[in-house]
Structure 1
Amino acid sequence: MDDSFYQKNLENSQNPTLQFVELNKCGLGKNSSKEMYRKRADILMSEFSGAVALETRNRVLNHSLNCWSNVCAVWNACLESEPSAFRYSSCDTCEQRVSHVHSLGVNHKILARKKFGALEEALEYHQRLYKVKCQQDQCPGSCIVDLVVDLHIFIELDIHPELTCKASLRCKLRDFPTNLNFDGVSYRLAGVIERIPGHYVAYTRRTNGQWQEASNIKEKIVPSHGGHEIEPHGVIYAMKT
């Protein structure tokens, strides 16, 4: 990991998925690949327990796990305790409440018209909202709602230029803004997730600006480049120092 600020925060996280990332970065010693796959399976089993199937192959009982889902749902499940933002709702009638915002949405019309370079403009993000109806049952009050962004931000993407268009909007990796600003806090472009038939592909942008591709149909992480064209379903930004 080449981001020392994010790394430091990762070391203090209690989230199982982020702990797995930290452990994998440090290495697991002998038989590390086997141990890595076992730990990854344990995490996914805990989040997708209803998707476990049993199958006998060559007289051996195998457990298979179907985690196929919307990438946003996977992110929400695995990083439930490490959301993109916290929503603080202060009601004038009842109590203050805190809830997790796992991902940020976008205005599809803006992106369809201006493309992904306008991502910051298209974000559905408001630092403070006034007179929001209280969500508590039978509470007649209104709230002041503050949104506080966290260490990393996941933005869900699956942009269709028209409602009748089946294909999602495509772009090149370099089309994404390298930085986003949230109320004076800067976030760097850390990764993009692409959906292709049957699976997802992850593209990591290193702090030196170089891209890498990780896919389950390739044995190793391979270099990529900003001119590579994809169909993005999500983008990740990480807080800068």
Structure 2
Amino acid sequence: MRKVSLEQKPRYISLPKHHDRVEIPRISPLHDSDTLTRDNWRNKETISHVNFSMSSDEMGENSVLNQCESPLMLRTGSMMPGITLDGEVFQLSKTEIFDAIIHILSCSALDNPNYLTIIKDSPNGTLQFILHFIEKKSCEQIYKERAVLLKCLYSSNMCSEKQKSNDVHMINLTGTLSTTWETCLDNEPSLYCAYECELCGSYITLLPVLTVDTNLILRKGFEALNEGLHFYHYLTKVKCQQEGCPEMCTVTAYPNFHICIYLDVRRNDRSHTKIQCKLQNFPKTLELKSLPGQYRLQGIVSESSDRTVAYCLRAEDHWELYDGYSMIVETFDSSGVINPCGAIYIRT
């Protein structure tokens, strides 16, 4: 969770539409997580203003789309040639986790009209990219737009290399599902935590992803995800997140319209390997403690030794495998064994 401070002249933000309006001073970060930098945050603040338009000359370069490929599949960045933006060449690598998130949320928007309406109203650059992806499918302009977006989000991860007498800007998205969600959906976290402090007043911190009780999951499996989820709607006697404040606060947690659950569950032995499971082991609905309504399972992000893929649960209740290396959407049996690193649920 980011540490935050109130601005000198507080502005106000609203919690997601499915909650009653609660006006709380807007916050700005003091410290990012150890995988993010202040430069990244500055770029994320302006990401909703990224211009995705491309010139006709740029659109004509680097043609890679195969007509046999699925129109709603993003090819992983390391399999793409460099993308030319404003006369400079950018090469993307390690985009698999970002692409998996895009695939799951795109399928969610296609299957759930309410979610589509919600993301249309969001200023988040990644969600706006999803709208363009749904509209334009997998095409040259979409790959350009992905490069524009990631150039802004990961500017601090960029380095230049000399290739065939040209400078190529390398953008590496190395990270976990948690850090990727935090970077790309910074203002659309899984949870808004509203603090009430006698000294500092009211403020909000953003929790990008939810976590689980790993010992419980190891004992009972992912079938117990509801029970093992670290979520409490209301807490008392929580230490204030403001730097140097000794007070204890009350905290009210408000889940967003989508929640991402980070599943880094490893065995308690020498191997320390992540546990495997079947897709059918995951509960298809979640009921968050003390809150009405349900969240429907939309997809699982899975990691193996050589790649990260997305399994999307479609409205017809079947699973689809999205692998940016194969570029063909495959139907996947729910009894198939996977290596989950995260689950994404959408409010119904």
Q: TM-score range by the shorter chain?
A: over 0.9
CA distance in 2, matches of 1:218, 1:3: 26
- Verify the 8 A CA contact 2:120 2:128 in the aligned structure 1: yes
TM-score (norm 1): 0.93
Q: Which residue of 2 aligns with 1:172?
A: 278
Match of 1:145, SS state, is: strand
Identity of paired residues, percent? Answer: 30
CA distance in 2, matches of 1:85, 1:66: 27
CA distance in 2, matches of 1:63, 1:33: 22
Match of 1:169, SS state, is: coil
One of 238, 242, 248 as aligned partner of 1:132: 238
Match of 1:139, SS state, is: coil
- Verify the 8 A CA contact 1:190 1:204 in the aligned structure 2: yes
| Residue segments in structure 2 that go unaligned for 5+ positions in a row | 1-109
CA distance in 1, matches of 2:133, 2:344: 20
Asked if 1:100 corresponds to 2:100, the answer is: no
Q: Which residue of 2 aligns with 1:27?
A: 136
Q: Relative to structure 1, is the Cα distance of residues 136 and 64 closer, same or farther in structure 2, using a 3 angstrom cutoff?
A: closer
Q: Relative to structure 1, is the Cα distance of residues 89 and 46 closer, same or farther in structure 2, using a 3 angstrom cutoff?
A: same
Q: How does 1:61-210 map to 2 (within 5 A)?
A: 61-162=167-268, 164-182=270-288, 183-210=291-318
CA distance in 2, matches of 1:191, 1:5: 17
Match of 2:219, SS state, is: helix
Match of 2:139, SS state, is: helix
Match of 1:185, SS state, is: coil
Asked if 1:223 corresponds to 2:331, the answer is: yes
Asked if 1:36 corresponds to 2:142, the answer is: yes
Q: Which residue of 2 aligns with 1:18?
A: 127
Match of 1:124, SS state, is: coil
CA distance in 2, matches of 1:67, 1:85: 24
CA distance in 2, matches of 1:192, 1:138: 39
| Residue segments in structure 1 that go unaligned for 5+ positions in a row | none
Asked if 1:234 corresponds to 2:346, the answer is: no
CA distance in 1, matches of 2:158, 2:195: 38
* Partner deviation per Cα, 1:1-21 (whole Å, 9 max, x = no partner): 111111111111110000000
By relative contact order (CA 8 Å, sep 6+), the higher-ranking structure is 2
* RMSD, aligned CA: 1.6
Q: Relative to structure 1, is the Cα distance of residues 82 and 55 closer, same or farther in structure 2, using a 3 angstrom cutoff?
A: same
Q: Relative to structure 1, is the Cα distance of residues 144 and 222 closer, same or farther in structure 2, using a 3 angstrom cutoff?
A: same
- Verify the 8 A CA contact 2:303 2:309 in the aligned structure 1: yes
CA distance in 2, matches of 1:94, 1:21: 38
Match of 2:331, SS state, is: strand
Q: What amino acid does structure 2 have at the position aligned with 1:224?
A: F
The CA deviation at 1:224 is 1.5
- Verify the 8 A CA contact 1:202 1:214 in the aligned structure 2: yes
- Verify the 8 A CA contact 1:93 1:142 in the aligned structure 2: no
- Verify the 8 A CA contact 2:136 2:142 in the aligned structure 1: no
Q: Which has the higher strand share?
A: 1
CA distance in 2, matches of 1:42, 1:217: 21
Q: Relative to structure 1, is the Cα distance of residues 132 and 23 closer, same or farther in structure 2, using a 3 angstrom cutoff?
A: same
CA distance in 1, matches of 2:244, 2:300: 42
Q: What amino acid does structure 1 have at the position aligned with 2:115?
A: Y
CA distance in 1, matches of 2:243, 2:190: 26
